[in-house]
Amino acid sequence: MTVAQVKALGKNRSAENLSILLRMYNEDYGLDIKREIVSSIGRQKDAQTIYDFIADNAFKNTYMELVYQMYRTTLYRSDDKKFNDLREKIEAYYDNELLQKMKRYYSNKYKTTKQKRAVQKTTILEGDCVETLKNVEPESVQLVFTSPPYYNARVYSDYVSYADYLEKMKQALVACNRVLEPGRFIIYNVSPVITKRPGREFESIRYPIHFDFHRIMQEAGFYFVDEIIWIKPETSVKNRVGGYQQSLKPLSYKPNCITESILVYRKNADFLLDENIKKYPREMKNDSKMKIDTTNCWYIQPKSSKSHPAIFPEELCEKVLNYYSYVGDVVLDPFAGSGTFGKVAKKLKRIPILCELKQEYVQLMKRSFKDDI
């Protein structure tokens, strides 16, 4: 028996086929076939028999893949009170995050959100993004991409404590969530940071920022999609392994850090990504000649500038804009620095919003975008 054969049984709704499917469920088939058997049972006509099947099997020691299919049937038969009651029992029994998401998706299946583009030209917002983003229309941005300040690792980023830093970053994420369109992407470039030792008798602290951002991302209303690894040439990074190479003493090994994390999250939405894509003309797509990254490892040379100690490489901005936004989209960098992301966004025919606290960078961007703002 194959999955295709089971599907064929499910499409032909009859008492005979339902009887066959019920018998097959108790036979020794692989999980993929069993999953399709449950789905096919749910498509049959005899509501009472289907209800009895789910009530008898949903609470047994079985694979969650099968429970999901049983639960799905209760959603699609929600006009029948007994299936609604059964659905609630399944929810209470398992308290499972995917069941909860299935319920939300089904409840919003026929709802659509209208795309807003209140911003029509390059916009530079001066000051703390938590405050300045209050001037941006809710749900009017289609992509957020930034590299937040490093914790106490640069002159321009000084915080009382790591907890204070994470709280301020969370506030910025909440502000971004308000302006981002439901279901669209927010992408943060982060990496671990090590503080300088106060003296030789003290140990420095290395902060796993990319791990800790996951929690505050979730709390701010986003869910994890991907982690892309930005890989830099070893010659471009600080040499940490030199001491070990000289001494060869165990415990003293420290590898050279050639990677940064590109954290890809999506704003919570109770619909599939397809709904965001449907808002654009079908013929709207990237150039077929564009080089495609097929893995989550991107090899990109870092850039340096006298005007800013940590600028984005234009190549990195191009990749993010091409993969996660459309031409004409409003795109936001809440920690814009010298404005590289905005420059590339303009080149790729997006509309950038750039937030920046430091006046010297604000003035630099104003000079760069004087003909657009």
Residue 306 pLDDT: 63
> What is the C-alpha separation between 46 and 232, in angstroms, rounded?
61
Residue 196 pLDDT: 77
CB 136 within 8 A of CB 331: no
Which DSSP helix (H) or strand (E) runs through 184? strand 180-190
Residues paired with residue 298 on neighbouring β-strands, in sequence order: 230
Q: CA nearest 270: which of 80, 75, 81, 92?
A: 75
> What is the C-alpha separation between 98 and 100, in angstroms, rounded?
5
Residue 368 pLDDT: 87
CB within 8 Å of 97: residues ≥ 6 apart: none
Residue by residue, DSSP assigns 213-267 as: HHHHHHHTTEEEEEEEEEE--GGGS---SHHHHHH--TT-------EEEEEEEEE
- C-alpha of 10 from chain center: 35
Which DSSP helix (H) or strand (E) runs through 335? none
CB 44 within 8 A of CB 10: yes
pLDDT digits (tens, 9 = 90+) for 306-364: 665 567 899 999 999 999 999 999 999 999 998 999 999 999 999 999 999 999 999 99
Task: Provide the whole-model pTM.
Answer: 0.88
CB within 8 Å of 145: residues ≥ 6 apart: 186, 187, 188, 189, 317, 320, 321, 324, 331, 332, 333, 341
Residue 156 pLDDT: 53
Rg (the chain; Cα; Å): 26
Residue 337 falls in which region: left (phi positive, over 0), alpha (psi -120 to 50) or beta: left
In three-state secondary structure terms, 191 is coil
> What is the C-alpha separation between 181 and 219, in angstroms, rounded?
17
pLDDT tens, the chain, 373 aa long: 899 999 998 898 999 999 999 999 999 899 999 999 999 999 999 999 999 999 999 999 889 999 999 999 999 998 999 999 999 999 999 999 999 999 999 988 766 667 777 788 999 999 999 999 999 999 999 999 999 988 876 555 678 889 999 999 999 999 999 999 999 999 999 998 887 777 888 888 888 999 999 999 999 999 999 999 999 999 999 899 999 999 999 999 999 999 999 999 999 999 999 999 999 999 999 999 999 999 999 999 998 766 655 678 999 999 999 999 999 999 999 999 989 999 999 999 999 999 999 999 999 999 988 777 6
* CA distances from residue 96 to 67, 99, 102 in whole angstroms, order as listed: 11, 5, 10
Hey, what domains does the chain have and what are their CATH numbers? 3-107 (no CATH), 123-368 (3.40.50.150)
Residue 200 pLDDT: 81
Ramachandran angles phi, psi of 194, nearest 5°: -115, 130
Which DSSP helix (H) or strand (E) runs through 326? none
> What is the C-alpha separation between 285 and 281, in angstroms, rounded?
9
Q: Token pair for residue 147?
A: 């590299």
CB within 8 Å of 236: residues ≥ 6 apart: 258, 301, 302
CB 181 within 8 A of CB 332: no
Residue 112 pLDDT: 65
* CA distances from residue 364 to 306, 307, 336, 369 in whole angstroms, order as listed: 12, 8, 11, 9
> What is the C-alpha separation between 353 and 143, in angstroms, rounded?
10
